[in-house]
Amino acid sequence: MKLDEYLSRVGLAAPVSRDLAGLTAVHHAHLRAIPYENLDVQLGRPVTIDSPAIYDKIVTRRRGGWCYEMNGLLGWALGEMGFDVTRATGAVVREFKGVAAEGNHLVLRVQLPEGLYLADVGFGDGPFDPIRIAPGGFEAAGFGFNLEEADPGWWRLRNHKFGGAPCFDFNLECADEAVLRERCEFLQTSPLSPFVQNLTAQRFVPGGLAILRGKVLRRVTPDGFTDTVLNTADELLETLARDFSLDVPEVATLWPKIGERHELVMQSARERD
């Protein structure tokens, strides 16, 4: 695990200053260069929270990852650069699922000279910038968010209006690594997990986000979104390469499963209407 190779992977020439400007530079570079994706989960390949395996996947093999991998790698790199960084517990849609959601997301607490911040490159379509830990609305890359205190010890980030998951909670204590490991295992194996049910890839692009869910490619800007439905496995591979810099030809074998899931989702939508 070499810091200079991580910096090259995200397009930075050298370590940055240990302040908000430096953290923001790394945060932006990571999100531009590395896509959020769950292709290994879809292919039935084990995913871990262990840093050496994450480094090999994302830096050496130039893949992306989900929250445990994306924030796991960023947290390691920030520590190597001398930042005061702590792995902390996130909980996507804890507002609705309660304690069962705790640990289904990994975030990073970063103490800076300017104050306390949250770094999170693992939510897919969350804020482009590090988040100052203070209640109120804020804007990042043109998208509006809100941070509020939830239960004692917990904060709640409300996603922008075109976001996927509507919110996630986090606390600022050091995460229980055993809980993270258990949730990581559950989310990649349980039939109830959305990561098992749906292929996804997400990436920040100029002007907004490119988001692939199943066979639907969504391009999101602060003003709205457009959807394009993919029709073949070849189109899927072309989209992953063009929009997400992912070269994983084995994904073509998932096309029948992706089609079945798409029809199921569309049927459920028609029934709701």
Q: Indicate which residue of 105, 160, 169, 243 is catalytic.
A: 105
Q: CA torsion, points 246, 250, 256, 261, in degrees to nearest 10? A: -50
Q: 141, exposed or middle or buried, with CB in 10 Å at 0-12, 13-18, 19+?
A: middle
Dihedral-angle region of residue 269 (phi above 0 means left; psi in -120 to 50 means alpha; beta otherwise): alpha
- Which of the following is catalytic: 28, 30, 67, 243? 67
- Residue 139 near residue 131 (C-beta atoms within 8 A): no
What are the structure tokens assigned to 9, written together?
């992977």
Catalytic residue chosen out of the listed positions 40, 120, 125, 243? 120
CB 108 within 8 A of CB 87: yes
Annotated catalytic, 67? yes
- Concatenate the DSSP letters of all residues of 117-158 into one string: EEE-S-SSSS-SS-EESSSEEEEETTEEEEEEE-STT-EEEE
Q: What is d(CA 52, CA 65) in angstroms, rounded to the nearest whole number?
A: 14
Beta strands 131-132 and 115-119: pairing type?
A: antiparallel
Give, in order, the Cα–Cα distances in Å from 255 to each of 12, 124, 246. 36, 22, 16
Report the alpha-carbon distance of residue 38 to residue 215 in Å, rounded: 14
Alpha-carbon distances of 20 from 23, 91, 129, 188, rounded to whole Å: 5, 25, 10, 34
What residues are labeled active site? 67, 105, 120
